[in-house]
Structure 1
Amino acid sequence: MRTPLRRVLAAATAAALLLTAAACGGDDDAKAGGKPSKIVIGYQQIPNGDLVVKHNKWLEQAFGDGTTIEWKLFDSGGSVNEAIQAGSVDIGLVGSSPASRGISSGIKYRVPWIFDVIGKAEALAVKGGVTDIQSLKGKTIATPFASTSHYSLLAALQEAGLDGKSVKVIDSEPDAILAAWKRGDIDGAYVWNPVLAKLLADGGTTLVTSADLASKGKTTYDLAVVTDDFADKYPDAVKTWVAQQDKAVKLIKSDADAAATAIAAELQISPADAKAQMGDLIFVDAADQAGDEYLGKGLPDNLFATAKFNKDVGQITTVREQKSYTDAVDATFAKSVPQ
């Protein structure tokens, strides 16, 4: 669970953001039938196409002077969910576990895009002396709660027959994880790049990756979520947003060096490191996303299964009917992208 201080800060932030929520999506323009005057995007520092779009200002170019694009940085999908509930974000990046949690809790949003399929980009990094999952008994492991990393950590522990009583799992955001690692406060962390790469460079070793768990049926994704309100008012704007994301995926596939240069500038790492971290993710273009393997069927089934797992391990209290997860995934925007 989050600490009382974080709960207080989150509540205070949500209350403050509600005061400015009317600015999201440009409500006046909706009444006039025009494009939004402002789009607020919640992003994270993950080496995928979203950072390519941001760095190259493709959204600003696509929408023109009539629409302001505001980028807000978040530490994790759980924080993005809180901001969406507060009405301060129109489109955001969350992992598949936070998305499943959001749908389960009734957040009114849908998934129009898969940023990436998480492979080796998220992993459990540990310090010396830990050689297998069983060696985690009595150890302190950090991860951002309600994230895909948290989900993957719990899945790895469950498979090994361990639980929260035998391993101390603490809630910590990526930057705080790095600081705690350097201080010696933790024995390991399940987290994503670029922080994961920093832990490994500082003497850490990889115990299990999200690619390992995917091979056992626990696939995780980085997903886009758009509020139902925004998508219903501005479907053409969502189509334009998706088209820019598809453009980024195509650049990653056709000119990885150019994509890495953009990502490196956003993450303040070298292009070589950015390219290596990109290689730990799987990118899928709009044409393939629209099919049954992804938005058509695979992802809805995954979100439902993730909800059931989270309930089984005590992370959520309610799982909705499967149709709720199916209805929350919208392939129409990916299908609209010209090929």
Structure 2
Amino acid sequence: MNPRWLPSAALLTAALLGLAACGSSAGDGGAAAGDRAGQIEVRIPEDGNSGLLALAKKDGSLAKALAKVNAKVAWTGTAGPFAPAAQQLDADALDFAQGSITSATAALAQSPGFKLFAAVAPDQLGEGILVKNDSPIKTVQDLVGKKIAVWHGGTSEYLLLKALKQNDIPVDRVERVYLQPNQIAPVFNSGQVDAWSTWGTYAVPQLADRNAHFLVTGGQVGSDNHAVWTVRTKFADAHPAVVKALYDYLHEAGLKQQQDPAAYLNVKTTAGPEAVSPAQQAIQIPIDKAKGTAQPITEADLTRFHSVAQFFADQGITKGFFDVKPYLIDVNTLPGSAG
């Protein structure tokens, strides 16, 4: 069976309008290189109601960290899948964003306007392939002949393909149904697809509702899907001390989140659609405790990044192997230091 798309014209239109709305400005000979007060503007999406940047926005701690290098933060909206963020980085509408190495590799192969400056170890617990609790699918082998919802060219598709390869299942024995991540829940819950390969943002609510469980997790399929922090190349070239200041902040904040993950949930509100319910918190907190923090990208990390790049090339997701080494920044060589 061949992969197929279930497109949503309204969602695609909304995404394009959102991209246009996020665009600010300035081109970089100075792009985002200064405002009326002479400070360097740092355009970065927030985390919404939970996460490092949600708390950073609320308590002003990131603003204080950036002020030390004559920079100020400009929040550009709520973070989402990395593919649109990569387009914004390439179009000079964003300066920093977080994604996965899978989505970053796919994006770099198309529009290499950004670099990677930090990595977080793969999430072993919070991403994987979801199936309904009453599903007849009990093993990965049972996915043969079934429809699996995925988001193209990133974490979602990577986890599915890793599971199939691990179990010696040809990819054409399952049907990949390509959907936008925020489209998938109703399709999955209504039974229009048999499984859903996804990550924590979307998995945790399903797990908390107790109507689904992981068939396999990222850890069980041997995922090398690091989270990565990215920066627009021209911004990094012009303002290396700001990149270092942001790295230092993310590293320290990640350590604090590991120690007290509950403090990073429901940062703005405990009610409404953004709120993390007690059932969701019970699942999210162990995931966040087990999660690492931002670290400099090492040679060992590069080896694992290249294993992902080769895997995507072998699976036909990218057109050949993509070498990410030219797109890495060693934060240890940047000016400035923590504290």
TM-score range, shorter chain: 0.7 to 0.9
Unaligned runs of 5+ in 2: none
Alpha-carbon shift at residue 244 of structure 1 (Å): 1.9
Following superposition of structure 1 onto structure 2, how do residues 303-314 of structure 1 map, counting pairs within 5 Å? 303-314=305-316
Structure 1: gaps (5+ residues): none
Out of 105, 109, 114, the position equivalent to 2:114 is 109
- Describe how 1:36-51 pairs up with structure 2 within 5 A: 36=40, 38-42=41-45, 48-51=51-54
Is structure 2 residue 103 aligned with structure 1 residue 98? yes
CA-to-partner distance for each residue in 1:277-307, whole Å, 9 max, x for gaps?
1422544446xx23xxxx1212211221111
Q: 1:239 aligns with which of 235, 244, 247?
A: 244
8 Å Cα contact 1:260/1:272 also seen in 2: no
| Residue 174 of structure 2 is aligned to residue 172 of structure 1 | no
Q: Deviations over 1:97-146 (max 9, x none)?
A: 01122333351321112245311110101121111111112211112212
Mapped partners of 2:253, 2:153: distance in 1: 27
C-alpha contact 1:78 1:145 (8 A) present in aligned 2? no
Alignment of 1:286-325 (within 5 A): 289-290=295-296, 295-320=297-322, 322=323, 325=324
When residues 255 and 74 of structure 1 are mapped into structure 2, their CA distance, relative to the original with a 3 A threshold, is: closer
1:133 to 130, 140, 158: 140
Given the superposition, is the C-alpha separation of residues 162 and 278 from structure 1 closer, same or farther in structure 2, using an over 3 Å criterion?
same
User: What's the Cα RMSD here?
Assistant: 3.5
Partner of 1:77 in structure 2?
A: 82
1:27 and 2:31 are equivalent in the alignment: yes
* TM-aligned CA distance change 1:174 to 1:154, over 3 Å: same
Report the AA paired with residue 208 of structure 1: V
Change (3 A) 1:4 1:77: same
Pairwise CA distance, 1:43 = 5.2
CA distance in 1, matches of 2:10, 2:167: 31
Q: Secondary structure at the match of 2:193?
A: coil
Q: Percent identity among equivalent residues?
A: 18
Residue type of the alignment partner of 1:256: P
1:265-285 deviation per Cα after TM superposition (whole angstroms, max 9, x unaligned): 695203673463142254444
Query: 1:53: which partner in 2?
Result: 56
3-state SS, counterpart of residue 316 of structure 2:
coil
Kept in 2, the 8 Å contact 1:47–1:277? The answer is no
Give the stretch that moved more between structures: 67-76 or 274-283.
274-283
Task: Measure, in 1, the Cα distance between the counterparts of 2:200 and 2:35.
Answer: 42
Q: 1:163-189 CA distances to partner (integer Å, 9 max, x unpaired)?
A: 443211112233221121222222110
Q: Deviations over 1:198-249 (max 9, x none)?
A: 22324212111001123xxx31122111011011111122122122212311
* Cα distance change of structure 1 residues 31 and 257 upon mapping to structure 2, 3 Å threshold: closer
Contact 2:147-2:174 at 8 Å conserved across structures: yes
TM-score, structure 2 length as denominator? 0.81
2:214 is the alignment partner of 1:210: no
Helix, strand or coil for the counterpart of 1:105?
coil
Identify the residue that residue 330 of structure 2 maps to in structure 1. Answer: 331
What secondary structure is seen at the aligned counterpart in 2 of 1:206? strand
- State the shift of 1:14 in Å: 8.9
Q: Within 2, Cα distance between the matches of 1:108 and 1:131?
A: 42
- Structure with a larger share of its residues in helix: 1
Number of aligned residue pairs: 326
CA distance, structure 2, for counterparts of residue 12 and residue 109 of structure 1: 20
**Mean CA deviation greater in 57-66 or 243-252:** 57-66
Answer whether contact 1:52 1:248 (CA < 8 A) is retained: no
SS at match of 2:119: strand
* 52-61 vs 109-118, which moves further: 52-61
Q: How does 1:157-306 map to 2 (within 5 A)?
A: 157-200=164-207, 201-214=209-222, 218-260=223-265, 262=267, 267-270=274-277, 273-274=280-281, 276-281=283-288, 282-285=290-293, 289-290=295-296, 295-306=297-308
Residues in 2 aligned to 1:188 and 1:147: alpha-carbon distance in whole angstroms: 17
- For the residue of structure 2 that corresponds to 1:107, the secondary structure is coil
**CA separation of 1:249/1:145 partners in 2, compared to 1, >3 Å: closer, same or farther?**
same
With the length of structure 1 as denominator, give the TM-score of the two structures.
0.81
Report if aligned partners of 1:76, 1:144 keep a CA contact under 8 Å in 2: no
How far is 1:5 from its partner? 4.1
Indicate the SS of the match to 1:213.
coil
* Distance (whole Å) between structure 1 residues aligned to residue 95 and residue 259 of structure 2: 30
